[in-house]
């Protein structure tokens, strides 16, 4: 049997014990960045992962879906969904992969490359805002810290 709690409902919820963690600050910052990126890409009919997939296919013509999955750190099944979306929009084509009849190679169409070029400019402007107000030295420290977190943890 559970007694009614003696405490009133908190008016303002304190997340102080989580706020103290750099990891939690990072999660909150990344959520905000991801939301802003979503708003940036929406007019192009892209989302974070379809944009990333498009960028990797532009940069690596002939890429296999398995390589794309690895580079994006997502499940192979999810990559197929993104590639389907990009193909349906006419931005990416699947072609038989040389030397492996079961695999296929991805490449961008002209429309895909043009869309990517426009979206890339918008993403660059979004990304430039993230560290705006910081000096070049400060921005370099933030980038160094992020690289260290990726490698050390």
Of residues 16 through 75, those in contact with a second copy by CB under 8 A are: 16-18, 21-37, 52, 55-56, 58-64, 67-68, 70-71, 73
Q: Which distant-in-sequence residues (6+ apart) come within 8 Å of 113 by Cβ?
A: 58
Can you tell me which of 89, 94, 113, 122 binds a second copy, judged by CB under 8 A? 94
Q: Does 129 bind a second copy (CB under 8 A)?
A: yes
Q: Which of residues 132-151 bind a second copy (CB under 8 A)?
A: 132-134, 138-139, 141-143, 145-151
Can you tell me which of 65, 77, 95, 114 binds a second copy, judged by CB under 8 A? 95
Minimum Å gap between C-beta 84 and a second copy is: 15
Strands of the chain, DSSP E: 92-97, 100-108
Closer residue to a second copy (CB): 77 or 98: 98
b (16+ CB within 10 A) / e for 89-99: bebbbeeebee
Residue 125 tokens read as 């402007």
Q: Does 9 bind a second copy (CB under 8 A)?
A: yes
Dihedral, CA of residue 98, residue 99, residue 104 and residue 105, to nearest 10: -40
């Amino acid at each position: 049997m559970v007694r009614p709690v003696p405490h009133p409902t908190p008016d303002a919820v304190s997340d102080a014990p989580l706020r103290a963690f750099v990891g939690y600050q990072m999660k909150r910052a990344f959520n905000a960045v991801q939301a802003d990126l979503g708003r940036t890409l929406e007019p192009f009919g892209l989302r974070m992962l379809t944009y990333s997939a498009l960028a990797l296919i532009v940069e690596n013509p002939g890429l296999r879906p398995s390589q794309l999955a690895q580079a994006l750190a997502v499940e192979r099944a999810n990559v197929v969904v993104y590639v389907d979306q990009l193909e349906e929009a006419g931005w990416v084509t699947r072609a038989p992969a040389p030397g492996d009849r079961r695999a296929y190679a991805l490449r961008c169409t002209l429309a895909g490359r043009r869309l990517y070029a426009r979206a890339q400019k918008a993403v660059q402007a979004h990304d430039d805002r993230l560290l705006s107000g910081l000096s070049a030295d400060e921005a370099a420290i933030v980038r160094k810290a992020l690289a260290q977190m990726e490698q050390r943890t």
